[in-house]
Amino acid sequence: MLRQRVITALVMVAVLLASLMSSSRWPFAVLTLALMAAGGWEWGRLNQAPGSAPIWMGAVIAAAGLGSLMAGWAGDAPAAVWWVAALLWLLGGVVSLRSGPTLWPRLPKSARLAVGLLALWLAWLALAQARVLSINLMLSILCLVWMADVAAYFGGKVWGRRKLAVSISPGKSWEGVWTGMAGVLLLAGLWIWIDRTFAVDGPSLYTRLFQALGVLGMLPVLLALCGLSVVGDLIESLVKRAAGAKDSSGLLPGHGGVLDRVDALLPVLPTALAMLTLGSLA
């Protein structure tokens, strides 16, 4: 299992780096769109979409993404899109987590399927726009989620006592959440120093927030983004538990499925871009 996991990770990193090295935005945009389309297929299967509907869900995401590219939205989507996405995640997260694994399947299937399509498309659109703004910005958003996850894992292992959501993800603890947030704040300080010390293609998320809001404004934004990463993770866990599935699929050997890898990114990517509009920094 470990060998399989490492090989899959290395292949994914190599392919993503190759797409980022291209002078055109198309290779990265198309590659990540394919991943999100696969996530749409997984979402359909987890939510009992009938027949070939999961395949059509993936196709809809791919078509929506290509349409966004053609319309220029993948590089310059209206700021209102990100604020609507952030609001939907805030409200939808509360409703989903309150419903729990037992009530989730009772929600209208059409609504559950539509929510997944919208979340995956918006996350891809935000990722594509962040890539256009600068690779440094995009990586800083991705690393926020990864740092929150890694720090939360180790913090939960060492100090975890109070369970966060037993019925959804028994392994998560409040102590893990706090250590995840602490890890992100440390990462932010380090990244701001990197931006000031080395030549980068554009300011990171942390530098942009610091310049627009100052330290006191930046801190609550980063903590909120950490909280949303936990929400994204919990919602996918909720859906899998309701479906009786351990992984979203077996598309990524050793890692599960695409949704298992991008769940925490889904709310963070569009919300991070919404936050960048504060202080007229888009």
Q: What is the mean pLDDT of the chain?
A: 90
Q: Where do the domains of the chain lie?
A: 2-280
What span, in angstroms and rounded, lies between the C-alpha atoms of 108 and 117? 15
Going by pLDDT thresholds of 50, 70 and 90, the confidence category of residue 280 is low
pTM attached to this predicted model: 0.93
Per-residue pLDDT band at 166 (split at 50, 70, 90): confident
Check pLDDT > 80 for residue 26: yes
Query: Higher-confidence residue: 5 or 27?
Result: 27
Q: How far apart are the first and last CA of the chain?
A: 42
| Ordered DSSP codes for 31-59 | HHHHHHHHHHHHHHHHTT--TTHHHHHHH
Three-point CA angle 11, 14, 16, nearest 5°: 105
